[in-house]
A and B are shown apart, each in its own frame.
Chain A
Amino acid sequence: SAVISQKPSRDICQRGTSLTIQCQVDSQVTMMFWYRQQPGQSLTLIATANQGSEATYESGFVIDKFPISRPNLTFSTLTVSNLSPEDSSIYLCSVELTGYEQYFGPGTRLTVT
């Protein structure tokens, strides 16, 4: 398994500002993923982040709104830009280990006012 931490655990942000979420893993991993979980909903994949390459975004998510960095094999950041109340969600990072298993961080709860 892997130990994954996220910072911050929660935040309240003003409309129009940005929030950067950090994801740290205790081992080197190739693939990291960012998900959004809107209130009372399931998880939706935002993008896949591989070290050394541009993130791959899913339909409905764009780099200008959700820029991602992946500077090394243990760390990634997701920025949610130009915040609106509709961005209020839990954002989770995950990593893929062997056997196609994904392990998830504890999530970042974002509230936009």
Chain B
Amino acid sequence: AQSVTQLDSQVPVFEEAPVELRCNYSSSVSVYLFWYVQYPNQGLQLLLKYLSGSTLVKGINGFEAEFNKSQTSFHLRKPSVHISDTAEYFCAGLKAAGNKLTFGGGTRVLVKP
């Protein structure tokens, strides 16, 4: 079974609307969780991470994510998206033993004007 699951493969959203990207993790990963963004034809950029402490994590470009241990989730949110947020977003977690990232399948966000 996949260790990190992104529930939506594509999310269309209108400009200035809010967006939520869903991510669930399994017990095979630790609770070190990350969100990365991949703009077209580029590498991955770290948006935010959760290692410990406050369950609400704020990242770059107005994104935030909430760690929910009881629901084993780490959903990403942005209250108002821009056209420039069109990209692929990956949730990732560290495997319980070691420092190897395991990635979810990705969610493609298409922001429409």
Contact = CB atoms under 8 A, between A and B. Distances in A.
Interface in A56-100: 58, 92, 94, 96, 99-100
A24 interface: no
Contacts of B49: 99-101
B43 A106 contact: yes
B110 to A, nearest CB: 14
Contacts of A107: 42-43
Nearest to B91: A42
A12 interface: no
Interface residues of B, number: 21
B63 interface: no
A43 B104 CA distance: 8
Nearest to A107: B43
Contact of A105 (B43, B90, B100, B102): B43
Interface string B41-73: 111111001010000000000000000000000
B27 interface: no
A102 B101 CA distance: 9
Contacts of B103: 42-44
A42 B90 CA distance: 8
B94 to A, nearest CB: 6
B32 A100 contact: yes
Contacts of B36: 104
Given A99-B49, A99-B51, A100-B94, A42 B106 contact: yes
Contacts of B46: 101-103
B104 to A, nearest CB: 6
Interface of A: 4, 31, 33, 41-45, 48, 58, 92, 94, 96, 99-107, 109
